[in-house]
Structure 1
């Protein structure tokens, strides 16, 4: 078991580091090829920070662990809003200025409702996964269109400042390839160790996906959001969470349906999905509210954190951990 825990820790560390290298390589490559800062920020970085979730879920589905894959998708969304956004706002109150960001939150809620409808029959099948993947493609196309027609948005300057400059194309492509290969390897180690730990403690794949795996694959978003907030790039910190959650629902959750279709755990619909919906609704109210000029305060951030730990405690209690 010590070897398994060590493998889990190493897998998580490598996952975070390789995701960072992958995003840097992808951003620099796109910039050299003339892609606009908004497209790089919204699309390249958005998909890049969701790459750990996508690879982990794909590997879990291929290995016949669809519960872990679904838990990773939903758990990452819950973690992104309640833990990551809550912790970031607790450290540094966040101002919401970008119109792009505030327009994406209703889109996220719509996608969640569609996802719930697709899962409401208790099955995640090939058709469900295909619909989600089609939605993923449509959202990507919509975001590209938004980026090209939203000149002067406050988030554009923030993305411009974050893009690596002066990096040769060969180096950028090298980081892109190396980051992806290491991401793949670390995701494989993470899935193996997570399944071993779940079996050792008698936990379901869903629970281990909602907790350990979800937090681990969300660490790139945590690092990106905190770093952006410290640089006063608040819209990136918030947009990072919104974009990641969209990609998790459409891209990550689609993979087990396409690769390993089958029934889902009933708790997904009665416990985890409603929690995600409520947290996203609260996020929407806070981010769009007129109070304090659209600002997520420390109090609100602390409230989100408390909700996350309450959910975690209930989840572990429900699983019979204590």
Structure 2
């Protein structure tokens, strides 16, 4: 019945393009309208006023010869007061926007190194938005916002960037040389330099640690020997005072004999001890005592 009477309904956020005998007549707003078809009036088409989004993937090359895929997200909408331009002047809006995005990205990115592309993606998005705004406003479209949502380098370059903290440097350098990718080779040289610096620091710290450990071990041995000497001296003095008629030499010989037998006992009691060949007998103990005394006398003379 509506078709017979020429009644049409236009939904919210949509406008209709009215023609009379094939010529643009008016823009119909949302609501109910009467179009007597017998008078040559008809709807040429509908135009959405909602914000639409177009994701554009553009492959280009940076200044340091690294190929990247830049993904730009363009949000746009048709203007109600310029609906006729938006409907009639462009046959394919999305392809037109995509062409402008390609043009701006391929003019901007080749002037930057790969690191700068990541750091200045907002400037790239602003350049795309400004260019689109100037171009699309003449066709009845408004560019709401433009975002650079992804920057994806070549797979070899991504692997090289990850290898900065890994160890497969030589293999990746060969790949870079084989494919002639200057950007990849530069990143691998940087990775090798950083790895060498890290190994250098580790070696220096390891050497410093070993030196400190040896120094502390030497201090500990010196203190241990000093404690033994002090203990022997106190024992000799105490024994000489409590047992009249004994000399320091007698006390020292007795101490050495005691330590000698304690050592033999420890060696015999250990199940994992190696074979030890030492002179055995009272004469051997006397020789050991003489050697110790001679060593102490020589140390005092020095």
The two structures share one fold, judged by TM-score above 0.5 = no
| Structure with the larger helix share | 1
Query: Which entry has the higher C-alpha Rg, 1 or 2?
Result: 2
TM-score, length basis structure 1: 0.20
| Structure with the larger strand share | 2
TM-score, length basis structure 2: 0.21
